[in-house]
Copies of this chain bind each other. A is one copy, B any other.
């Protein structure tokens, strides 16, 4: 494999920095899913922690490197689709940092409420995630504080990559890993470790048809931006891929597939009914990919990373409906 921006030794070292509450998350086979999907599905469960997503693996790394000057608390700002902001607020609070999160007004209320509850300053913008990115960058420039750019900043990728270390340590191994694809931190992080240490495991990225920018970019091997996104998978809805992240993704992903909204909802329902798991739409992308291409996965053992579980209760009830 050509070298990505990530470094396996640094990723191993990251385990010593990240609060153990976010490490060594459950990894187990959900046998009750198998009859419905035609393949063995194990989950890597990233929702059973204080922020209900994998993002704190990265924010623990970011914040561990920040120290204040002149007796003032260090400050940090990020744009977030919701989960990064919550994780940065959690990691920053325990280290006494001054955390600002910029988010679109369209982010689920549950995620915004948690960011506020964790003592971060929350600035809402009209527009989408990419509008929030611009605003966060402006705040960083104006206030001279550290900007955390999800997927661009190596800590966000290498934090996520610690999931990969836990996957390659699993016995028995598996055939493929399904990873939600948004900005690319999770996919390049986990993909880097798998391609470095377990290259035979197929790395499959999954994105909603309604937010396909990174998948189009991966397929054309150049950055493709898109118009407004249209998906319930708020966690992965970006339209402007970052060139350096795409370069890494091109080195570690075996495939990138797009799935329909109906499949995402079906995946969420399957997780609830047959695995007892509440997942946010982004975390159901893997099951959606299996549902849309059963032949590809038939008889294989796949792992899907359940990357987040932050949902608005009302929206969740709508999605899971009544049988």
Instruction: List the interface of chain A (C-beta within 8 A of B).
Output: 21, 24-32, 45, 47-50, 52, 113-114, 117-118, 272-273, 276-278, 309-311, 313-314, 316-317, 320, 322-323
Contacts and interface: CB of A to CB of B under 8 A. Distances in A.
Contacts of A26: 21, 25-26, 48-49
Contacts of A50: 28-31
A272 B313 CA distance: 8
A276 B320 CA distance: 13
Contact of A313 (B31, B277, B316, B323): B323
A27 B26 CA distance: 12
A27 B48 CA distance: 8
A282 to B, nearest CB: 13
A95 B26 CA distance: 22
Contacts of A52: 276
Given A278-B272, A313-B272, A313-B273, A24 B24 contact: yes
Contact of A323 (B45, B276, B317, B323): B317
A323 B314 CA distance: 7
A45 B28 CA distance: 14
A232 B322 CA distance: 20
